[in-house]
Amino acid sequence: MIQLLPILLLSAFFIGCGQQPYTNLENTPKAKNVIVLIADGQSSDVITYSRWFKGGDSLAIDEMLSGAMRTHNADSPIADSAPAGTALATGYKSSYQQFIGVLPDEAILPNSSIPTEARAPIANVLEAAKLLGKSTGVISTSEIMHATPAAFSAHDITRKDYDDLSEQQVFQDIDVILGGGYKFFTKEARKDGKDLISEMTNLGYSIIRTSDELDSFRGDKVVGLFADADLAYEIDREETTQPSLAQMTSKAIDILSKNNKGFFLIVEASKVDWAAHANDPVGLVSDTLAYVDAVKAALDFAKKDNNTMVIAVTDHGNSGFTMGNYDTSSDYHKRKLESFIEPVKKASRSAEYVARKIEAGEDIRLAMQKYYAIDDMTEEEVNSLRGKTGDDLHYAIGPILAKRAYLGFSTHGHTGEDVPLYTYLPNNKRIIGVIDNTDIAKNVASAMGINLDEATKKLFMSEDEIKKAGVELTSEGDVLTLYMGDKTSQIMKNRNIIIVDGEKKTLDGVVVYNESKWYFPSQVLDMLK
User: Which active-site residues does the annotation give?
Assistant: 81
Q: Residue 212 phi/psi, 5° resolution?
A: -65, -40
Kind of pairing, strands 503-506 and 322-323?
A: unpaired
Contacts (Cβ under 8 Å, ≥6 apart) of 326: 408
Contacts (Cβ under 8 Å, ≥6 apart) of 416: 71, 72, 77, 78, 79, 316, 317
Q: Is 169 helix (H, G, I), strand (E, B) or coil?
A: helix
Residue 260, number of CB atoms within 10 A of its CB: 8
Residue 103, number of CB atoms within 10 A of its CB: 27
**Alpha-carbon distance 136 to 252, whole Å?**
9
Residue 1, number of CB atoms within 10 A of its CB: 5
- Nearest by Cα to 395 from 496, 524, 278: 278
One-letter amino acid for residue 7 of the chain: I
Contacts (Cβ under 8 Å, ≥6 apart) of 503: none
Q: Residue 434: which H helix or E strand, with range?
A: strand 433-436
